[in-house]
Structure 1
Amino acid sequence: MMLSAGVLALAIAAAGCTSTTSADSSAAPATGPGAQDTGTYPNLNIAPEVAAAQFTEDQKAAKLAELQAARQRQGAKAGAGGGNSAAMTTLARKHGDDTLKAIEGKCETIDPACN
């Protein structure tokens, strides 16, 4: 059994060392948007072109005012729906127990009145 495993390993190792024909190993010419050797070094001192015009100070102030107004609207909505915090705290404490009872089959449904 050890001998057959050794022969199999040797055959696999030998298969990895085989070479291909020269027609298969020829590299395809570099075409398309990839890197191409132009024989020169790139000039890094050229400033890149901007994609869009920059905001002016007036546009910046208008955008910041718009964002601040949206933030205030969202803050007002969050405070309005607070509700009764004592009831929410009680629900949070009991919800896990009620759910566990329902999962274990002690209650038919998730019901706060379940004992």
Structure 2
Amino acid sequence: MTINIGETVFFGAGRFLRIGAAIILLGIAACSSTNAPGPVAAGMGPKDTGTFPNLNIKPQVAAPQFTEAERNAKLAQLKADENAQGAKGGGPKVTDQAALKDLAKKHGGETLKQIEGKCDPALDPTCK
């Protein structure tokens, strides 16, 4: 008999009753914990509470916007800096992919031996 009652309360229709009771209790707790004042009168507008942000005042701009001439001058300066950096050899180097794959095939095993501690003294004189 006890098993049937426990099954009904915890697994059957009692589950829905517990969920409903929890929702009601949470709703009551939420309604009783609000400290909001009564409704605002219809004739009253927004108030300045002195807190940030005040959405009734248009924000000030921090700095004047670039003009087209200033924008073009700054872009030209950036392009000149980019070209100067590329002339120094700082640009990306294009290499032959086939040569890189061939290098990986030849030196991959040796590199793995050194990494794993099974190095070859002929390749690495510091290897013991």
Normalization by structure 2: what TM-score? 0.39
Structure with more relative contact order (C-alpha pairs < 8 Å, separation 6 or more): 1
